[in-house]
């Protein structure tokens, strides 16, 4: 039962962008910019060095989706170059924004859990 609770909390943190410490406030200032600290529990987010891990996975996932869509569209419908540009550039921007929030939340959660486990030892 406790394991299901942990998985549910993890999904809430990832998809709603909640603070991993208190599960109350959002960790994002704007669409994808992280806050300096949680307004509810004052957890400092700047000490979790995410590096480029979140950006790498966003580029990887969005790149795979866009390239598969582009190739399938080209094979099946053979649209003009401008049609490809009109479809895939906005799709890339929108998918990048959609995938950045949960992936950034996930890596922040991993950093939080690693630090918490180090304190426990
Ligand atoms: Zn908090």
Domain containing residue 14: 2-120
Ligand 1 centre from 44 Cα, in Å? 9
Whether the pLDDT of residue 1 is over 80: the answer is: no
Q: How many structural domains is the chain composed of? A: 1
Whether the pLDDT of residue 121 is over 70: the answer is: no
Confidence of residue 46 (pLDDT cuts 50, 70, 90): confident
Ion ligand 1 neighbours, Cβ < 5 Å: 19, 21-22, 38, 40-41, 43
Q: How far apart are CA 92 and CA 100, in angstroms?
A: 12
Ligand 1 centre from 12 Cα, in Å? 13
Contacts of 51 (CB under 8 A, 6+ apart): none
Ligand 1 centre from 70 Cα, in Å? 41
Question: Model confidence over 55-87: pLDDT tens digits?
Answer: 999 999 999 999 999 999 999 999 999 999 999
Q: What is the pLDDT of residue 2?
A: 81
């Amino acid at each position: 039962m406790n394991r299901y609770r942990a998985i549910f909390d993890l999904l809430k943190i990832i998809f709603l962008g909640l603070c991993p410490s208190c599960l109350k406030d959002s960790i994002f200032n704007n669409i994808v910019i992280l806050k300096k600290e949680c307004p509810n529990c004052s957890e400092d987010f700047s000490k979790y060095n995410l590096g480029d891990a979140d950006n790498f996975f966003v580029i990887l996932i969005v790149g795979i989706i866009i390239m598969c869509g582009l190739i399938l569209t080209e094979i099946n419908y053979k649209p003009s170059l401008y049609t490809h540009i009109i479809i895939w550039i906005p799709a890339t921007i929108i998918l990048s924004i959609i995938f950045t929030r949960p992936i950034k939340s996930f890596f922040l959660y991993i950093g939080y859990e690693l630090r918490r486990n180090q304190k426990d030892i």
